[in-house]
Amino acid sequence: MLPDLNVFILKFKVMRKVNSIVVAGIGGVGGYFGGKIAHNIEKTGNKEFQVHFIARGEHFEVIKEQGLRLNMADQSVMNCKPQSIADNFDEITDFNILFLAVKSYDLDFILEKIGPKIKDDTIILPLLNGIDIYERIRKKIKSGIVLPSCVYISSHIEKPGVIRHRSGKELIILGPDPQRKNNDVSILLKAFQKFGINYKWSEDIELAIWEKFIFISSYGMVTALYDKTVGEVFSDSNLKETTRKIMCEIYNLGKARNIPFDENTIENALNIAKVIPTDTRTSYQLDVIKKGNKNESNIYAGTILRMSEETGINTPVTKNIYEKILKMIEDKSSMPGQRARQNS
């Protein structure tokens, strides 16, 4: 059930004249949502919102000079110019909405940088994969309103300054801060509505996050190990069965934590492959192939194996897949050419 915006607005009268949105991480997720907001602000001449990007490297340089190009799945193009772009948080002075769209391995670093700038009414929306992101943020940041969330989208950096959106409608699922359930988040929901961002408010957000984790972690590990697309995994009976077994292991861990899955959870997660492009490669897969040790293993297999030890529930398929991925990375890193590329 969606919260009533009018109730929020009547209950909380204090609102800033200009609402400043900071998007940290302009990859496939942050670039898509940040770009869409920037495009709509410029197109409509909106004075109520501003959007600021934090990016780095050549991606930062191109966007700073030319703006961000968003190539949409329907072949349309959005040219997106934020109010500002920076390559570090020192240049960001005031904001009341923060989109965290960095990779999980950069999260702690970003939280240390951004922590002192978070105010009591700052809304933080973490758009990262993982089932413990809220807890990780709260360990570092005690103030602000952190909205647990997950996102479904198929998009990636095509080249510096360009984001490619591949298919369908994006969806952000979000819910209340477990520690601050009655705080005002109306301005964020208003921004979603104003800028055409598809979202769903869920009072049981933990279930939605676990359901996403079942899908992304299982397909992520299998696509990474075998370097197959999601469509190829789904159409291969052996790889599909391996994916299903990983899903079952995660399902059992969730049930041990009283996550209210229904009997169709695993089949629903498995069949997500039917509604995304068959040539989709997972972000974890791309990181393993391109970046070697700098990947999200800790947020996927690492989390599963830690929970396995805590609960006593065996996860042998995940353990086996993870060990093979580590060995594959080690073998690649031992090659002189690969070491040179990783160190460059």
Residues 195 and 254 in one domain: no
Q: Is residue 9 part of a domain?
A: no
- Answer whether 91's CB lies under 8 Å from 115's CB: no
Query: Domain boundary residue among 203, 235, 259?
Result: 203
Q: Over the chain, what is the mean pLDDT? A: 90
Q: Is residue 274 part of a domain?
A: yes
What pLDDT, in 10s, does the model give residues 70-95?
Answer: 999 989 999 999 999 999 888 888 89
Q: How many structural domains are present in the chain? A: 2
Residues 6+ apart with CB under 8 A from 28: 153, 155, 156, 157, 163, 164, 283
What is the three-class DSSP state of 162?
Answer: strand
**CA 32 to CA 155: how far, in whole Å?**
7
Q: Provide the pLDDT confidence category of residue 336 given band limits of 50, 70 and 90.
A: low
Q: Is residue 7 part of a domain?
A: no
Q: What residues make up the domain containing 88?
A: 16-203
Residues 239 and 183 in one domain: no
pLDDT at 37 over 60: yes
The domain spanning residue 178 has which CATH number?
A: 3.40.50.720
What pLDDT, in 10s, does the model give residues 58-67?
Answer: 999 999 999 9
Residues 214 and 194 in one domain: no
Query: Domain boundary residue among 203, 223, 250?
Result: 203
Residues 140 and 219 in one domain: no
Residues 182 and 286 in one domain: no
Residues 195 and 215 in one domain: no
What pLDDT, in 10s, does the model give residues 13-25?
Answer: 444 468 999 999 9
Residues 145 and 187 in one domain: yes
Q: Read off the pTM.
A: 0.88
* Cα–Cα distance list, 189 to 54, 147, 177, 326 (Å): 22, 12, 14, 41
